[in-house]
Structures are given as structure tokens and as C-alpha cells.
Structure 1
Amino acid sequence: MEVLRIIVLTAAAVLLAVVAWKAIVGWRHARQRIVDFWHDPRGTFEQHIAELPFDYPPAVIVSADLALSIAAMTGVIQRHGYLGTTLPILALLLVTFAFPILTVFGVPPRPVPLCIVGLIAQGMFLLQPVPLDASPFVLVVVAGEVAAIASKRISLPFAALAILQLLLFHIVGPGIDSLPAYLVGIVLGTLVGLMMQYQRLYLYQERENQEIRAARAADEERRRIAREVHDVIAHSLSVTLLHLTAARHSLQTDRDVEEAIDALSDAERLGRQAMADIRHTVGLLDQRPSSLTPEPGMDDIAALVEDFVRAGLDVDYSMSGDITTVSATTGLALFRISQESLANIAKHAPDAAATLRIEVSDTRVSAVVTNTLAGPAPTRRGRGMGISGMRQRATLIGGSLTAGPADGRWEVHAGFPIADPATGLTCPVSGPEDHLRSVRDAFTALTRKLQEGM
């Protein structure tokens, strides 16, 4: 027992000397911290907590320090007969004030010094045994704190050393009451600390996953906006060019000024409408609320076709079925696909005869856009966003789109399922990107609600 006394007291003296040296070295920095704490206790405390190398909530850190102080204070009260030796007071100072003082002086707490403080303070308590000693709870709390902030290479050896220390004092000294309970407490404290650390690691992983999902959703939304801008510009420019061509033809051949003015007026109207649509779409990139004008849908396809017809494109249009069963998202997709398809015809085959057929059944809505080919079908696809953008738009909401030559004509076929109102919305079965699709659909739906002022 005398050997243990010499070892513990020597270690305590060395530790106190180190703490005093740290305090002297960092006094200038600590003085400013003390002044700040005097003027703003709460703000300074929160700043100190934020500077710690681990990001547990302040309530968790304060609760752990409070539990450690309660265990040490209880051990001191039980040793009221030993207070003249000052050992219980020194142990209390080591446990309760060592790390707060070091933190004030700009020295963040580390796991290994925390282990050393716990072992030395517990050794000082055990040098003065009392019945039903509560001081071993210091090791229980320290074991949990170390396991919560350090790797298992540090926490598990410390737990073993803490158990070994209690066993050694129990064998050499007069014995420790309820020793098995304290040994189990150290093991349980270590496990609780490990659970907290695993929870923190899972929190980091979830934060990273959320950042990845948010980045992917933002990328998809930017691509969606790019498709919208492309469709608006392609449509407006194609129809505007047709009107300008008609105006030029009227002035060059017939000298019909009124017909030319009508064509130019239509071109001006479509240009202004295109600018409004572009501002509406690009406004989604801004944090400010964009225009409350709703997105186009099934009801606007007839006016779209009329614009192309007035510009000189030969379009045969028909729609059958109950369009009220088509959702706003599907209606927007059908409008944009029809718009892009007719714009492509106006751009590549302005003299061709085009047809647009939209059929709505109980379970599906489909759109077919065809046009005659003056020559052989093109074998080289362009690098634009036309067909690929339409296909992406259809795929994102569970539909499909095909485009290519068929029977001497160019055909674009798009189809979308219609949810059964009795069973609610259905989720189409797809590949391994289902979880990303749900995020994209939710983000798109939220953006559309914001556009409509909901």
C-alpha cells in the first residue's frame, strides 16, 4: 500500500506541475478569455464549446462534466475525516477544474490526459478508503467520456487499466465494497461512450448523404431548367422565323403590306411571349419569388398548334379522351414534347405536312407527332438537346419516348401512365435509381408549387 501511495502522489505532483506550467504559459491568452467571460458568460461559454475538437451538443458536454463533478464531490464528502490531509481536495480539483482551466487557457482537452487525470484522481481517493465508496464512479464517467471522443485503441486500454486499478487497490488495501458493481459500471460506461461515438459517425454519414442528395437534386433541377429554356427558345425562334419568312415573301412577291404586317405582329407577339417564358423559367434560379403564371398544360396545346399554323406550318391536330385525368406534370411534359417536335419540324422540314395526335385512355395518355420526309431519313443525329431532352423529360415522370423514321415519315411517340384515382398515385418500377428519382420528383413538385403560388 505504501508503494501505491508513493506512485500516486508522485504522479499527482507531476500532473499538478504540468497544469501550473500550462497556466503560466497561457496566462496572457487566458486573461482575455476571463475578461470575455466576465462580460458575456453565455457567449464566451458557447465559443469555448465550439472550439472543442468534437461536436457534441453543449448539453451533453455539460452533463458529462456535471456527472464527473458529482461523483468526485460525493467522494470528498465521504472522506470528511481526511480533509486535513488535503488529498480529497486535490483529487476534486484535478477532476473538476483541470480541464476547464486548461480550456480557458487555450489548451483543448485530449483523451490521453483525461485518462491520466482520471486514474490519478481515483488513486488519490482510494488511498483513503471509506465504506460504500462512491468515488469509483469517477472512473465510470471518465471511461464513458474517453470512449465518446477517442478511438477504441485508447478507450479500451483505459477501461482495462481502470479495472486493473480497482482490483489492485482491492487486493492490496482494505478492500472496496461492491467491487463487481464498479467493474461492470466501467464496462457499461465504455459501451455508452462507444454508442455515442457511433451515433456521431452515423450523423456525419447522414449529413454527407444529404449533401449528395441535395447536390444531385440541384443538378437535376438545373438540367430541367435548361430543358425548359431550350424548348422555349427553340419554339419561339422557329415560329418567329416562319413569320419573318412569310413577311419577306409577302413583300417580295405580292407587295402585300397588310399580310406582312400581320406576320410581323405575330412574330413580335411570340417574341414577347418567349421573353416572358424565359424570365419565368430563369427566375427559378433566383431566391426571389418568380412569376405566379402557371406552367402550360394540355389546354394550351391547341393554342400552340395554332401559332405554328399561323406561321405557315401545315399541322393536322386532334385530341381525344378526357384530359381532366391527366396530371399537371404529365400535361406540361406533353406540351413541351409537342412544342419541341413541332419546332424541329419547322426548323428542319418547314414544307412538310405534320400531324399531332393525342389520345387519353383510362390508364395511359400518348402523343404522336409525325411529318413527311422530302428525302431519305437523316442518318446523323444532331448534338442538340431536342430528342435527348424530350426523352429525359418523359423518363423522369415514368413515361417513355421514341423518335425515328417509320414508313417514310419521321415519328415521335411519347406515352405516360395515368394513375388510378381509386388507388392513388402509383410508383413505376424501375432500375437502381428509384431513390434518386423520388428526390428529383419531390424537388420538381416543390418548385412547381412555388411557381403557382402555393
Structure 2
Amino acid sequence: MLTLIGSPNTDRLIFLLLTVITLSLIPAYPISGSLSYLTLWIVLLQTPHVPASDVVVTNAVFLFYLGLFFPFGIALIIALIIPLAVVIPTGPIPDAISQLFLASCTLLPGAMLRRTEVTLHQEVSAATEQLTSIREEIAREMHDLVAYSMSQTALRAQRAAADSSYPVAARHEFAAIESTAADSLHELRLVLRALRNNDNERTDRARITTGLGAVVLDLEESVRAVADDLSASGYSVTYQCKGDGRYTRLQAAILSRVLREMSSNVLRHADYDRPVTITLSREANKARLVVTNGVSSSHHNLPSSGMGILGMKERLSTIGGSLNTLMDNGTWLTSASIPLSQSPTQVIVNKS
């Protein structure tokens, strides 16, 4: 505890309280807190009936903070003010020597701890940069090799599905291959985006650990990726995401794949001259994904296997969701909804 020799009076107690308050400010405000403490120290030396020995402990903490929060050279200069303030007005050399001894015992440990923290920070930064470089290299290789191959597969299957020289059954198979390749390419692009994003760019919205290892994925990133793909294909796309955007891994994965299938239908049947809208909304007990597009009968000749809507319904049914479609005045609307109050585990248990 603080040193109070003799009968403490009001002035001594006030100074002790002020020094403790000032010390508590130094970790948050090192410069202003240190200057305030030095000011109190000088005022204390000029105040009668308040011995310097009252703040021996606070001086030790202050000197330790100097070594911890300041470079050693600056901390040493500031620390010398304490014994100099003792010598200049009154000249008690022993008191100044005791303060120097106190500084040597507390300033150096603080400086050593600061050095250790700086070294650890540098090592962590170097490791982070190395990991970022590795992630970017992996992303480049996957983009150059895997993504390119998938794109070529999807394009060749698309051309084959549109070739009337093939039988109808074969064209349906080519259309299914094109759809599967597009789904895989979409998932790969999401992985590449995650690899290329460094840790400083990630937010709690992207990945938050909750409960027993459940992970909330960034479904909004999937919406943006699909919107980018459709825009690159020549469509005018407007998308919006409403709500807090927190979904379980299974919910995010299923809605992402359903959205991919919706976008595939847009590529097959939508009119380039009419806008495409994507809306992801989260309410209290339900999440809804809605895609609208104009329908064209002349711009696209790709056949459909008829399994897209059925596949989306089957995916959604595994988590208690549903799919609705509507044609209104030349606009095709596809709406997928899932309940948020019932967990995926409960759905599986009920089915079994």
C-alpha cells in the first residue's frame, strides 16, 4: 500500500488520491497522464507537511509505466525529472539517490516487458504477412487452374446444350453439366474471396463463432458474388440485404446454393433488357430470398432439365423451407423462405 508515515492529514490524503487517479490514466493516455503525474510530484515537493515518502509506491508504479509505455530513451529522460525535482529546490542528495535507485529497480523491468511485447508483435505481424502471402498464392493457383477449367467446362456444356445436332436427352444432360459446373464455380469463387480477404478486412458479420462451434457465414457475400456474375454477363442487377445477416452454416449453405440455381435460371431465360433484382431479408422468425427478372423467349435457347425448381424445393425442405414461383406480366419471381426459429437438428429429428 501507499506509505503514510505519522498521522495523515487532509493534504496528504488528497495528494495520494490524486496520484492514484493520475496513475490510472497513464495506460490509456501515456503522455498526458505522465505529465500530470510529474506536475503533482513537483507540487508535492513544494507543499509543506506532505513528505515525498508518501508516494514511494506510486513513484515505483509510475517509473514502471514509463518503461512500459515509452521508448527507453524517452522514459529515462522523464524518469530523471523525479530525482532532479528533489535536488534542485532543497538539495537532499540522499533522497535523490533513493529515487534513482527506485528508478533503476522499476524502469528497467517495464522497459524489458515493453521490448518483449514489441518483439512478439513483430513476430505475429511477420507470421500474419506470411499467411496472407500463402493464402494469396493458393487463391491465384486455384483461380488460374481450377476456376479456368470449370469455366471452360461450363462454356462447352452450354454450347453443346444449345447445339440442335445433339439429341434432346443429350442436350438436357449438357444443360445439367453446365448447371453443376456453374454451381461449383460459384462456390469456388466464394472460397477464393475468403482466401484473398486478409484478417483486417474481415468483420464479425463474415464469421462469428457462436455456441458449440456453430459458425455464421457471410451469406451477403454470396449475394454480392451472384450479382457480380450476372452483371458480368450483361444484366442490370440490383441487390439488397436486410436484417442482421446472421445465419447458421447449414442455412447459409442451402440459401447460397438455391441462389446459385436462381441465377442459373436467370442466365437461361431472362431478358437482357430488363433488370434483375435480388433481395435477401431476415425477419424475426423467417429469412426470405427473392429474385425477379424479365422473361425472354428469344434471347436464350438453352434447354432446361426441369430439375432446377425441384432441386431447390428439396434443398429447402431439409431445413423446413419452401419455394414459391410466380409469373406476372412478363416478370418471373422466385421466392425461397426458411424458418429461423426451428434448428436444422430439430428438422432432421422430426423427419426420422
TM range (shorter): 0.3 to 0.5
TM-score scaled by structure 2? 0.36
